[in-house]
């Protein structure tokens, strides 16, 4: 019997501390070779939709799985099938919209923990969607953030975002009039947009700022002015391989230059201490978040185990004849 977990079940189970712990552990396991990762692939369908899929296996926890999601008619639908790797048994089917936003926020939280200055207290955010909200939550959990400034193009949505997120993280969140106002002087910066052209510029960044670039995951899209990438002292990615396929912010600066790509480090190597997350308090550091399957599988495994304890979800009979 497989356990079916709905979005509502996931919301009852998944907290940011749990997501941060699971994602950090996943990057440690990836560095040690007990977590295997396959990059995202996409099928572009004739109706201008997409089927996206990516996979990972965690031999230390005993789980493997996929994240599969579709885009059609302006709607995204996410699913994580979770398997036990030793037997091949389907353990769970998990609706994964909220899971995806939380694990992506957690990845930025882990990057911020290991790359931002320890005394970082101001956070600038460009983007006011659901993903931006979990970015703020994760970063506030790993740094003593005292002030958040947020910019979005729609005034009403920006103010509602500020109100809701401030209540969630218990930190003042101020709507900014422009992206520059949100970013200028911030110790940590997040871009979580659907932009195809840069939304922040190098001249706006304070010395020692850390950037989490989350939104761009297609080669033709970017959120960062190229000069930011060129100035960064440390550039990390959750997957360098996947970045070469879809991280427009890096692709548009590095192209096919192998030497320049060699300067990008795996976040996993920073997490286990093999590579420094920053060299001094003045340099700019950058985490390019693509969203990788180790994050989905690690968090899904924790949710599944917790659901069993709390008796949440619905059992469904699949592969019973086998």
pLDDT tops 80 at residue 267: yes
Q: pLDDT tens digits, residue range 236-256?
A: 999 999 999 999 999 999 998
- Identify whether residues 172 and 189 lie together within a single domain: yes
Q: pLDDT tens digits, residue range 19-77?
A: 999 999 999 999 999 999 999 999 999 988 999 999 999 999 999 999 999 999 999 99
Query: Between vectors from CA 270 to CA 122 and to CA 28, what angle results, nearest 5°?
Result: 110
Task: List the structure tokens of 268.
Answer: 């996993």
Total domains present in the chain: 2
Rounded to 5 degrees, φ, ψ at 201 are -125, 150
Q: What is the CATH number of the domain that holds 229?
A: 3.40.50.720
pLDDT tops 70 at residue 210: yes
- Identify whether residues 59 and 124 lie together within a single domain: no
**Is there a domain that residue 109 lies in?**
no
- Identify whether residues 195 and 284 lie together within a single domain: yes
Give pLDDT, residue 257.
87
β-strands 234-237, 264-266 pairing? parallel
What would the mean pLDDT of 151-163 be, rounded to a whole number? 96
Measured between alpha carbons, how far is 154 from 138 in angstroms, rounded to an integer?
24
Rounded percentage of the chain residues whose pLDDT exceeds 70: 99
Give pLDDT, residue 169.
97
Measured between alpha carbons, how far is 298 from 207 in angstroms, rounded to an integer?
34
- Identify whether residues 29 and 160 lie together within a single domain: no
Q: What is the CATH number of the domain that holds 311?
A: 3.30.1780.10
Q: What is the mean pLDDT of the chain?
A: 96
Query: Between vectors from CA 100 to CA 261 and to CA 183, what angle results, nearest 5°?
Result: 60
Query: Between vectors from CA 186 to CA 180 and to CA 191, what angle results, nearest 5°?
Result: 65
- Identify whether residues 226 and 302 lie together within a single domain: no
Give pLDDT, residue 216.
84
Rounded to 5 degrees, φ, ψ at 154 are -95, 115
**For every residue of the chain, which 3-state class applies, written as one string?**
CEEEECHHHHHHHCCHHHHHHHHHHHHHHHHHCCEEEEEEEEEECCCCCEEEEEEEEECCCCEEEEEEEEEECCEEEEEEEEEECCCCCEEEEEECHHHHHHHHHHHHHHHHHHHCCCCCCEEEEECCCHHHHHHHHHHHHHCCCCEEEEECCCHHHHHHHHHHHHHHHCCCEEECCCHHHHHCCCCEEEECCCCCCCCECHHHCCCCCEEEECCCCCCCCCCECHHHHHHCCEEEECCHHHHHHHCHHHHHHHCCCHHHHCCEEEHHHHHCCCCCCCCCCCCCEEEECCCCHHHHHHHHHHHHHHHHHHCCCEEECCCCCC
Provide the pLDDT confidence category of residue 322 given band limits of 50, 70 and 90: low
- Identify whether residues 258 and 121 lie together within a single domain: yes
Give pLDDT, residue 308.
97
pLDDT tops 80 at residue 141: yes
**Is there a domain that residue 203 lies in?**
yes
What would the mean pLDDT of 287-302 be, rounded to a whole number? 97
Give pLDDT, residue 256.
85
- Identify whether residues 151 and 276 lie together within a single domain: yes
**Is there a domain that residue 111 lies in?**
no
Q: Which long-range contacts (CB under 8 A, 24 or more apart) does 76-84 make?
A: 80/296, 80/297, 80/300, 82/297, 82/300, 82/301, 82/304
**Is there a domain that residue 90 lies in?**
yes
- Identify whether residues 226 and 136 lie together within a single domain: yes
Measured between alpha carbons, how far is 209 from 232 in angstroms, rounded to an integer?
10
Q: pLDDT tens digits, residue range 165-175?
A: 999 999 999 99
What would the mean pLDDT of 118-147 be, rounded to a whole number? 98
Is the Cβ–Cβ distance between 47 and 291 less than 8 Å? no
Taken as a whole, the chain contains a residue count of 322
- Identify whether residues 256 and 298 lie together within a single domain: no
- Identify whether residues 304 and 271 lie together within a single domain: no
For residue 181, count CB atoms less than 10 angstroms from its CB and return exposed for 0-12, middle for 13-18, buried for 19 or more. middle
- Identify whether residues 126 and 84 lie together within a single domain: no
Give pLDDT, residue 321.
66
- Identify whether residues 92 and 151 lie together within a single domain: no
**Is there a domain that residue 252 lies in?**
yes
**Is there a domain that residue 108 lies in?**
no
Cβ count near 242 (within 10 Å): 22
For residue 147, count CB atoms less than 10 angstroms from its CB and return exposed for 0-12, middle for 13-18, buried for 19 or more. middle
- Tokens 């422009």, residue located: 178
pLDDT tops 70 at residue 128: yes
**Is there a domain that residue 322 lies in?**
no
Range of the domain at 79: 2-100+294-316
For residue 194, count CB atoms less than 10 angstroms from its CB and return exposed for 0-12, middle for 13-18, buried for 19 or more. exposed
């Amino acid at each position: 019997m497989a356990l079916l977990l709905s979005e509502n079940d996931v919301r009852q189970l998944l907290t940011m501390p749990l997501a941060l712990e699971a994602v950090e552990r996943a990057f440690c396991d990836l560095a040690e070779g007990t977590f295997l990762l396959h990059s995202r692939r996409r099928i572009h369908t004739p109706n201008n939709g997409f089927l996206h899929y990516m996979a990972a296996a965690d031999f230390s926890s005993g789980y493997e799985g996929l994240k599969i999601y579709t885009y059609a008619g302006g709607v995204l639908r996410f699913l994580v099938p979770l398997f036990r790797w030793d037997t091949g048994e389907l353990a769970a089917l998990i609706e994964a919209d909220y899971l995806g936003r939380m694990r992506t926020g957690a990845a930025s939280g882990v990057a911020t923990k290991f790359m931002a200055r320890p005394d970082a207290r101001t956070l600038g955010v460009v983007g006011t969607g659901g993903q931006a909200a979990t970015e703020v939550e994760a970063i506030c959990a790993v740094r003593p953030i005292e002030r958040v400034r947020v910019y979005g193009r729609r005034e009403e949505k920006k103010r509602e975002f500020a109100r809701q997120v401030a209540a969630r993280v218990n930190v003042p969140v101020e709507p900014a009039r422009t992206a520059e106002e949100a970013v200028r002087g911030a110790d940590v910066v997040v871009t979580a947009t659907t932009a195809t052209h840069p939304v922040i510029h190098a001249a706006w960044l304070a010395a020692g700022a850390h950037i989490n670039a989350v939104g761009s995951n297609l080669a033709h899209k970017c959120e960062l002015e190229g000069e930011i990438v060129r100035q960064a002292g440390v550039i990390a990615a959750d997957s360098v391989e996947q970045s070469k396929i879809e991280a427009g912010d890096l692709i548009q600066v590095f192209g096919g230059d192998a030497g320049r790509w060699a300067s990008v480090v795996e976040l996993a190597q920073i997490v286990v201490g093999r590579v420094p997350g920053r060299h001094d308090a003045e340099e700019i550091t950058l985490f390019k978040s693509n969203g990788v399957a180790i994050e989905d599988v690690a968090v899904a495994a924790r949710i599944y185990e917790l659901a069993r304890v709390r008796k949440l979800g619905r059992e469904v009979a699949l592969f019973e004849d086998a």
